[in-house]
Structure 1
Amino acid sequence: MSTPSHVPGFFMTQKLTLMVNRYEIRAIGADGQPGDLLAFAEQKRMTFKEQVTFYADLAKTQPVFSFKARQKLDLGAEYDVFDERGEAIGYFRKDFKASLLRSTFHLNGPYVNAVGQERSKAIAIIRRFVDFPFTFHFDFLDGENLVMSVDRQFSLRDRYTVHVPYQGLDFRLAAAMAVGLDALMGR
């Protein structure tokens, strides 16, 4: 499978198991439902979230991209995103200070320099005090331009719809950021 450079929208689902977090990235089908598998990753539970590798198939035979922390145990860690050959294609980071009240991330790549924040300030604050699977929405803007939006669905399982209107954002960078949102927000 060849990894597409731009995908205008996809679904990301996290499935919790006893030993691993499983992430599936699926295309949005013609019927609006999850379609073909675009990428799959597993991350061991109870480990630091330093590296995640994505594969083209559930058997994990063909790596397609990955992300890795530049440093360990840093609240503002930066995560480099690599292609299947290990070449950097961009990075993202959580802005720890800005995230105290409203989660904020920076997403950078060859054609994008975006800041993503939770759309609702009220939900952002409530989520800090109530352990409930709220829906939430992130908008990533490069200046005034919407680059990507991530919408968490109301569900006990973590399910997200990701829209990428900006054609300059590489699918692999968008998918890594979506999984990073889930992992770094402790979902």
Structure 2
Amino acid sequence: MTTRNFLIKQRFAAMVNRYEIWSVDAHWQPTTMLGFAQQKRMKMREEVVFYTDDSKNTVLFTFKARNVLDIRSVVDVYDGAGQAIGEFRKDFAASLLNSTWLIDQAGQPQVKGQEKSAVYAIIRRFTDFGFIPYDFVFSVGERPVMEIVRKWGLRDTYQVTVTAEEYDTRLLQAVAVGLDALQNR
């Protein structure tokens, strides 16, 4: 089984969400920057652009919600040339008690992700504490595809373990950033 781990660190910035995506060593220490993502706040449609680095000269891929401020909106992921990679969305009904996300990539089975801890899911649902950690497990049936663990701390940091090599890493990176950017909407 192939594992492709990466780390997402949110940068502090006014009026935008910024994220660094890093490859990691066996101890989760950042080794090489894989990309830099930026989301402008207060946009009518959620959109995040992923670049090669923080110079923002080269676009790697993007994600953009299909609808305006819709909690049920599908989020499309495109490569740097504008070709579709896949999509993800929150399953609103299933998310009332335990946040549930679905990932679709052409030619692959649909991936379903849920919070591992129902207790944390309920606490997060009924409080306004933004620092509560979470652990999402994404799978196809019983087969794991990806796990996203939000670590405790002032700065949002996510450890992402990918165990299914047939899914496009760009799509999975978009989902990991999307959880931070879209989870509480």
Q: Which residue of 2 aligns with 1:103?
A: 99
CA distance in structure 1 between the partners assigned to 2:39 and 2:96 by the alignment:
26
Give the superposition deviation at 1:23. Answer: 0.9
Q: Which residue of 1 aligns with 2:10?
A: 14
Give the superposition deviation at 1:112. Answer: 4.0
How many residue pairs get aligned? The number is 182
Q: Which residue of 1 aligns with 2:28?
A: 32
1:113 matched to 2:110: yes
Residues 44-95 of structure 1: CA deviation (Å, up to 9, x unaligned): 2233452111000110111111111111121110011111110001100011
SS of the residue 1:128 aligns to: helix
Task: Give the aligned residue type for 1:148.
Answer: M
User: For the Cα contact (< 8 Å) 1:50–1:69, is it kept in 2?
Assistant: yes
CA distance in structure 2 between the partners assigned to 1:66 and 1:184 by the alignment:
15
CA RMSD of aligned residues (A): 1.7
CA distance in structure 2 between the partners assigned to 1:178 and 1:49 by the alignment:
18
Q: Which residue of 1 aligns with 2:120?
A: 123
Give the superposition deviation at 1:152. Answer: 0.2
Where in structure 2 are there 5+ consecutive unaligned residues? none
In the TM superposition, 1:153-172 aligns within 5 A as: 153-172=151-170
Task: Give the aligned residue type for 1:162.
Answer: V
Give the superposition deviation at 1:11. Answer: 0.3
CA distance in structure 1 between the partners assigned to 2:57 and 2:26 by the alignment:
27
User: For the Cα contact (< 8 Å) 1:112–1:168, is it kept in 2?
Assistant: no
Q: Which residue of 1 aligns with 2:145?
A: 147
Change (3 A) 1:31 1:116: closer
Task: Give the aligned residue type for 2:63.
Answer: F
CA distance in structure 2 between the partners assigned to 1:67 and 1:112 by the alignment:
20
Give the superposition deviation at 1:122. Answer: 0.9
CA distance in structure 2 between the partners assigned to 1:98 and 1:68 by the alignment:
22
Give the superposition deviation at 1:153. Answer: 0.1
CA distance in structure 2 between the partners assigned to 1:44 and 1:89 by the alignment:
22
User: For the Cα contact (< 8 Å) 1:54–1:64, is it kept in 2?
Assistant: yes
User: For the Cα contact (< 8 Å) 1:140–1:149, is it kept in 2?
Assistant: yes
User: For the Cα contact (< 8 Å) 1:119–1:138, is it kept in 2?
Assistant: yes
Where in structure 1 are there 5+ consecutive unaligned residues? 1-5
TM-score when scaled to structure 2?
0.92
CA distance in structure 1 between the partners assigned to 2:3 and 2:49 by the alignment:
19
Q: Which moved more, 1:109-118 or 1:135-144?
A: 109-118
Give the superposition deviation at 1:186. Answer: 3.4
Report sequence identity in percent.
48
User: For the Cα contact (< 8 Å) 1:148–1:164, is it kept in 2?
Assistant: yes
CA distance in structure 1 between the partners assigned to 2:72 and 2:163 by the alignment:
27
Q: Which residue of 1 aligns with 2:62?
A: 66
Give the superposition deviation at 1:21. Answer: 0.9
Q: Which residue of 1 aligns with 2:71?
A: 75
CA distance in structure 2 between the partners assigned to 1:136 and 1:30 by the alignment:
21
